[in-house]
């Protein structure tokens, strides 16, 4: 029985050399259309699929390889006499190697939203061939990645069943990814009962949160974001760096005003808004210079020379900005380990996926940023207080729950988060401010969730807070409002919360 290799590729990198190698190994080459033509032009003896099957390509190439003589040659079981007899009786080649890659749907989808063009780049025969060969991996070698040609050639005589299984699993992953791309591009509907999520490994990280944990960074192909970063200086990014960059980046794209934020352990430890970039940096740093040590800085504009000089005076892990002045980059490069990251401005609406034991949680990101409120107290806020309340409430959105933010003059004065009791977050932030000799008198307070008791208002009043914003919705809202009225503090309810677990 004649053994054959079926070759039909969209990405033709290295295919001539690989085909020539297979011919030298004694394989008849079956091929289609443009692939076969390229091989013939390079002196390789090719039998076209349509000649082998006596079935012409049809429907503008939509049907080429969907034929029993092709799939029978791939799928027959070599250990079953009945299968062998059928193959011999029908004169079918034993197709022991399948070399296929797919129409460039991903590349097309990155360039256009034209549905007709997208649909024409959905491969049908390719995935069918790949899956058939992968299913029968015990006897068939499937090669679906041009980057594997060299290793296949180098290891060809020692490729056993286990190795063929590795290539088969890679092939199933490829077709799963491909189908996921199609669903993601053609539909934004997450409520599908079944859905493949298209993830491509961007890089292997040194380790995860801790050195004993394996870690990878995967990108989403159609979403601009962290995978588009340009690293201008410094060491390789770690898993924890990327987690912190994510918080910084989310804040950078959400604030319209000039923002500087410093993040430590996935939560802001200082933030400030100002048209003066240096003033914003200094304001963010003053909130908690102790926690800022070894933190990650985000600037939502082009980072300037004078700010770079100020940053270089202290130890930080990462500096992120939408762009950098050339002189700023040179200054930051003086700190050889400091990671300097440029990220693009981007859209802020997407779905988040978190793993839980045995499953996944999927939610739309917390994109709500418009500051809508109801004044529920007798006292009314001033315009300056309203600006600070809006700023503080937006910062609280990025602090680990329970989150409390004290702010004044467009900068945070104290931040409390990650406590199991809301009043403990309020007290922690006050204690931190006292430790750093920060005067909270006259500031505003924001909470990411409602006050379950009036105790947080009592603590705020003692600290000199002059206006408060929180979502409302507690069964004790009346008590909380009464407490605010006792102190003459304006109290705003937003009727929307921003938990961040």
Bridge partner residues of 30 (DSSP): 6, 47
E strands along 156-239, which residues?
Answer: 200-204, 216-219, 230-233
pLDDT at position 295: 96
Closest C-alpha to 495, from 393, 391, 401, 373: 373
Question: In terms of C-beta density within 10 A (0-12 exposed, 13-18 middle, 19 or more buried), how is residue 59 classed?
Answer: exposed
Which residue among the candidates 135, 223, 305, 333 is catalytic per the annotation? 135
Q: Which pair of structure tokens corresponds to residue 431?
A: 């204690």
Domain with CATH 3.40.140.20 in the chain: 229-342, 374-493
Give long-range contacts, CB 8 A cutoff, 24+ apart: 144-151. Answer: 144/99, 144/100, 144/101, 144/102, 144/170, 144/171, 144/174, 145/101, 145/170, 145/174, 146/9, 146/11, 146/13, 146/14, 146/15, 146/101, 149/14, 149/15, 149/17, 149/18, 150/14
Say what the alpha-carbon torsion angle 26, 29, 35, 37 is, to the nearest 10 degrees.
100
pLDDT at position 131: 94
CATH of segment(s) 3-186: 3.40.50.1380
Does residue 64 contact residue 32 with C-beta atoms inside 8 Å? yes
DSSP 357-392: TTEEEEEE---------EE-SSS---HHHHHHHHHH
Give long-range contacts, CB 8 A cutoff, 24+ apart: 174-179. Answer: 174/102, 174/130, 174/144, 174/145, 175/102, 175/127, 175/130, 175/131, 178/102, 178/105, 178/106, 178/123, 178/127, 179/127
Residue 64 DSSP code: S
pLDDT in tens, the chain (501 residues): 689 999 999 999 999 999 999 999 999 999 988 899 999 999 999 999 888 888 777 677 677 778 888 888 899 888 888 898 888 888 889 999 999 999 888 889 888 989 899 999 998 889 999 999 999 999 999 999 999 999 999 999 999 999 999 999 999 999 999 988 888 888 866 666 777 778 888 889 999 999 999 999 998 887 788 989 999 999 999 999 999 999 999 999 999 999 999 999 999 999 999 999 999 999 999 999 999 999 999 999 999 999 999 999 999 999 999 999 999 999 999 999 999 999 999 877 788 888 899 988 888 889 888 899 999 999 999 999 999 999 999 999 999 999 999 999 999 999 999 999 999 999 999 999 999 999 999 999 999 999 999 999 999 999 999 999 999 999 999 999 999 999 999 999 999 999 998
Residue 271 CA to residue 262 CA, distance in Å, equals 6
273 dihedral zone (left: phi>0; alpha: psi -120 to 50; beta) = beta
CA angle 319, 324, 327 (to 5 degrees): 105
Reduced to 3 states, what is the DSSP secondary structure of residue 411? strand
Number of neighbours of residue 200 by Cβ within 10 angstroms:
12
Which residue among the candidates 195, 235, 265, 333 is catalytic per the annotation? 265
pLDDT at position 189: 64
Domain with CATH 3.40.50.1380 in the chain: 3-186
Number of neighbours of residue 190 by Cβ within 10 angstroms:
12
Q: What is the pLDDT of residues 122-148, one digit of tens each?
A: 988 899 999 999 999 999 999 999 999
Widest CA span in the chain: 96
Please give the C-alpha separations between residue 224 and each of 253, 254, 296, 348, in angstroms, as whole numbers.
12, 15, 21, 10
CATH of 374-493 given 1.20.120.1810, 3.40.140.20, 3.30.750.24, 3.40.50.2300: 3.40.140.20
Q: Can you identify the CATH homologous superfamily of domain 229-342?
A: AICAR transformylase, duplication domain (3.40.140.20)
212 given a catalytic annotation = no
Residue 464 CA to residue 184 CA, distance in Å, equals 51
135 given a catalytic annotation = yes
pLDDT at position 430: 96
Does residue 393 contact residue 407 with C-beta atoms inside 8 Å? no
Please give the C-alpha separations between residue 40 and each of 24, 37, 45, in angstroms, as whole numbers.
15, 5, 6
Closest C-alpha to 311, from 330, 322, 240: 330
Enter the pTM of the model.
0.84
Does residue 318 contact residue 338 with C-beta atoms inside 8 Å? yes
Strands 3-8 and 28-31, by their bridges, are parallel
Q: What is the pLDDT of residues 200-223, one digit of tens each?
A: 888 899 999 999 999 999 988 877
Q: Which pair of structure tokens corresponds to residue 245?
A: 């960059």
Residue 308 CA to residue 329 CA, distance in Å, equals 8
């Amino acid at each position: 029985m004649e053994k054959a290799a079926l070759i039909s590729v969209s990405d033709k990198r290295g295919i001539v050399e690989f085909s020539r190698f297979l011919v030298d190994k004694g394989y008849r080459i079956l091929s289609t259309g443009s692939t076969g033509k390229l091989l013939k032009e390079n002196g390789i003896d090719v039998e076209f699929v349509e000649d082998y099957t006596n079935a012409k390509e049809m429907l503008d190439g939509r049907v080429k390889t969907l034929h029993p003589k092709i799939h029978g040659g791939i799928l027959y079981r070599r250990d079953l006499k009945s299968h062998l007899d059928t193959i011999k009786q029908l004169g079918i080649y034993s197709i022991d190697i399948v070399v296929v890659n797919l129409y460039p749907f991903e590349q097309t989808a990155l360039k256009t939203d034209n549905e007709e063009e997208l649909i024409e780049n959905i491969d049908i025969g390719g995935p069918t061939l790949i899956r058939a060969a992968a299913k029968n991996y015990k006897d068939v070698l499937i090669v679906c990645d041009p980057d594997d040609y060299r290793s296949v050639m180098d290891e060809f005589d020692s490729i056993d069943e286990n190795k063929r299984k590795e290539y088969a699993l890679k092939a199933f992953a490829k077709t799963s990814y491909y189908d996921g791309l199609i669903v993601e591009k053609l539909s934004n509907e997450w409520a599908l009962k079944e859905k493949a999520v298209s993830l491509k490994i961007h890089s292997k990280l040194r380790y995860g949160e801790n050195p004993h944990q394996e870690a990878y960074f995967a990108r989403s192909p159609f979403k601009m974001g962290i995978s588009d970063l340009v690293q201008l200086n410094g060491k390789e990014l770690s898993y924890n760096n990327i987690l912190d960059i994510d918080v910084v980046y989310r804040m950078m794209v959400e604030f319209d005003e000039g923002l500087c934020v410093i993040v430590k352990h996935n939560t802001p430890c200082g933030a400030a808004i100002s048209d003066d970039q240096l003033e914003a940096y200094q304001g963010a740093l003053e909130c908690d210079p102790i926690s800022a040590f070894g933190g990650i800085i985000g600037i939502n504009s082009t980072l300037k020379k004078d700010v770079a000089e100020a940053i270089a005076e202290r130890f930080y892990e990462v500096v992120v900005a939408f762009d950098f002045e050339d002189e700023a980059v040179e200054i930051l490069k003086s700190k050889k380990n400091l990671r300097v990251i440029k990220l693009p401005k981007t859209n802020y609406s997407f779905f988040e996926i978190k793993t839980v034991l045995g499953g996944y949680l999927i939610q739309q990101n917390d994109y709500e940023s418009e500051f809508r409120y109801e004044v529920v107290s007798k006292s009314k806020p001033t315009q300056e207080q309203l600006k600070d309340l809006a700023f503080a409430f937006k910062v609280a959105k990025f602090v680990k729950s329970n989150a409390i933010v004290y702010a004044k003059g467009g900068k945070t004065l104290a931040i409390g988060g990650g406590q199991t009791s809301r009043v403990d977050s309020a007290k922690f932030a006050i204690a931190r401010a006292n430790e750093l000799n920060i005067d909270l008198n006259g500031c505003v307070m924001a909470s990411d969730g409602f006050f379950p008791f009036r105790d947080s208002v009592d603590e705020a009043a003692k600290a000199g807070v002059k206006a408060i914003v929180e979502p409302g919705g507690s069964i004790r809202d009346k008590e909380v409002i009464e407490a605010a009225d006792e102190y003459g503090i304006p109290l705003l309810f937003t009727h929307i919360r921003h938990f961040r677990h």
